[in-house]
Amino acid sequence: MNVFDEMGIYWSEIADQNQTEAQIQFIKNTVKPDGLVLDLACGTGRHSIPLGKEGYSILCLDVSLNLLKIAKSRSGGIQVVRGDMRCLPFKPEVFSAVVSMDTSFGYLPSEEEDLRSLNQVRKVLGEKGFLVVDVFNREHLINRVKAIGQPKWREFPSFFLLQKRTVTAGGGFLCDVWTTWDKADGQVRVFEHLARLYALSQLQALFEKAGFKIKAVYRDYDRQSFSPNSNRLILVAAAK
Q: Spell out the per-residue pLDDT of the chain, length 240, in tens.
A: 588 889 989 999 999 888 999 999 999 999 999 899 999 999 999 999 999 999 999 999 999 999 999 999 988 678 999 999 999 999 999 999 999 999 999 999 999 999 999 999 999 999 889 999 999 999 999 988 877 767 889 999 999 999 999 999 889 999 999 999 999 999 999 999 899 999 999 999 999 999 999 999 999 999 999 998 999 999 999 998
Question: What pLDDT is attached to residue 1?
Answer: 54
Residue 186 C-alpha from the chain's centroid: 30
- Which domains, from first to last, does the chain contain? 3-137+198-239 (3.40.50.150), 139-195 (2.20.25)
Q: What is the largest CA-CA distance in the chain?
A: 53
Judge whether 58 and 81 are in contact, CB under 8 Å. Answer: no
Question: What pLDDT is attached to residue 87?
Answer: 97
Question: What pLDDT is attached to residue 240?
Answer: 85
Q: What is the pTM of this model?
A: 0.93
Judge whether 126 and 239 are in contact, CB under 8 Å. Answer: yes
Q: Cα separation of 149 and 165, whole Å?
A: 10
Residue 205 C-alpha from the chain's centroid: 19
Judge whether 62 and 41 are in contact, CB under 8 Å. Answer: yes
Secondary-structure percent of the chain, ordered helix, strand, coil, rounded to 5: 30, 35, 35
